[in-house]
Amino acid sequence: MATQVETKDTRALGQPFFAFWKLLAILCAVALAGVLLTHPRNAPREIPVSPTASSSESEASPPDVAVAMKMSRAFSKVFKTVDPCVVSVIGESTFSSSTSRRGQKITEQGRRSLGSGIVIREDGVILTNNHVVEGSKNLTVVLSDGRRLRATLLGNDPYTDVAALRVSAHGLQVAKLGDSDNVEVGEWVLSIGNPFNLSHTLTIGVVGGKGRSNLDVAEYEDFIQTDAAINPGNSGGALINLHGEVVGMNTAMGSQEGEYRGVGFAIPINMARRIAEDLISRGRVVRGDAGLSFQDMDEALMRAFKMEVSAGALVSDVERGGPADRAGVRPYDVISSFEGKEVTSRAWLTNRIATARPGQEAEIGVVRNGEAFSLRLIIGQAPDQVTAKPPSSDVDSFGLDVEDLSPDVARSMGYEGEHGVLVTDVEPGSAAADAGFQWGDLIVEVNQRALRSQMDYKRILERAQEGDLIVFRIRRGEARVVLAAQMP
């Protein structure tokens, strides 16, 4: 109560004081209004505008627009330089579709297939994909000036999906071929080709990855990945850097539906050029061979071999008397480099050996039991390749069912002269399945100990403790593979 009374008295005493200041403010406002009404106003200033100046010129161009305009002019310049070197390739065949390993069509209209090509010699030699021309009886090339010329097939290589054609023409503008080893992830690239019969189409993107493999497009895969649109009809066209150099040959889309889905793949031009040289001079490809089998290192193998990084390829077999054997390479070696370059994957090393010339000397880096050293390898010539066939049963705790290798089974599966135990069943979801075992594998060693019978196999596994890493060396068809798995 006391507080309320005090407040009322204070308000009552302050009222005359506030009234005085309110009156004074009103008088000042009236005086100011009178001054403003009697004082002459200045006319608003007009800013003269040049009759020739446009609104776009009066506004300064932001720096980012200037950069974008410069980039677009660069794209246009590259396109104008390379476009005359890109052609359409039309194949007419007795087949209803072309057959890439992916099962892709390139654009079929009845018995016609459509793709692209790159002029690599002024006397009419053209580079394209094997799947563009495969099975075609008649080949036609449409040049950038509209001329339609009959083409002959100089040679084709389904293992890399490369083919070389020739047309009767001279003085053709030739594409400048770059060095695909120098391509960097993130750099701009342009794609020129003939998608959906839309000739000389330009698309733009960046390099999204290098050394892409396991796409089931070809036997030897080392693709450049890009988001520059690659559609049916682009196959055989040029992937170009900003210097106007061809760094790849467009080959595949990352889609089974036959339409672009944001990812495309190109054969590195270094590989395509090497294959084309053989096709032009010999009509076939001569590949290098080292006489050894090798594989990628997974996490389990890295731990088993005490490797800190997954780079390198693990040697699973060495052909007796072959180039690698003569160089001193042994099973369980890790090949860490080839000609001074780090081995990033099994596919990378496979391609480097295959594209090397027979007789060429190559330096390889090897890690054996933790010790690193170099060996000199003389590249041999690759033989032809082969594959194998099937027999099934009762699985152990590891998830495998095995049996002794009988002479009849060895003969039927191409394992004659071998020793070991045959995998007749692999339980889905088991430790063996996770390790990568397959029906028909022949286990020849466990923890680097040779197997002669099923009893040897069981004896070694019985000694293993739960959680131990077991290293298996197996034969799968003509290949030898090393697998590592944890004992359940």
As annotated, the active-site residues are 131, 161, 235
Q: Which residues contact 386 (CB under 8 A, 6 or more apart)?
A: 414, 477, 478
| CA–CA gap between residue 40 and residue 303 (Å, rounded) | 93
Q: What is the largest CA-CA distance in the chain?
A: 124
C-alpha 287/C-alpha 412 separation (Å) is: 30
DSSP state of 310: -
Left, alpha or beta for 399 (phi > 0: left; psi -120 to 50: alpha)? left
Closest CA to 115 of 154, 77, 151, 168: 151
Helices and strands in the chain: count of H runs, count of E runs: 11, 27
**Phi, psi values for residue 284, rounded to 5°:** -150, 170
Residues 293, 432: Cα–Cα separation, whole Å: 22
Length of the chain: 488
Do the Cβ atoms of 160 and 177 come closer than 8 Å? no
Contact 209, 185 (CB under 8 A): yes
Give the orientation angle of helix 346-355 with respect to helix 269-281, to 10 degrees: 30
Q: For residues 444 and 316, give the distance between their C-alpha atoms in angstroms, rounded to a whole number.
A: 11
Point out which residues pair with 116 in neighbouring strands: 88
Q: Name the residue among 454, 446, 457 with its Cα closest to residue 483.
A: 446
Q: Residue 152 forms beta bridges with which residues?
A: 166
Nearest to 329 by CA among 313, 343, 346: 313
Of 79, 282, 83, which is closest to residue 164 (Cα–Cα)? 282
Q: Are 324 and 292 in contact (CB under 8 A)?
A: yes
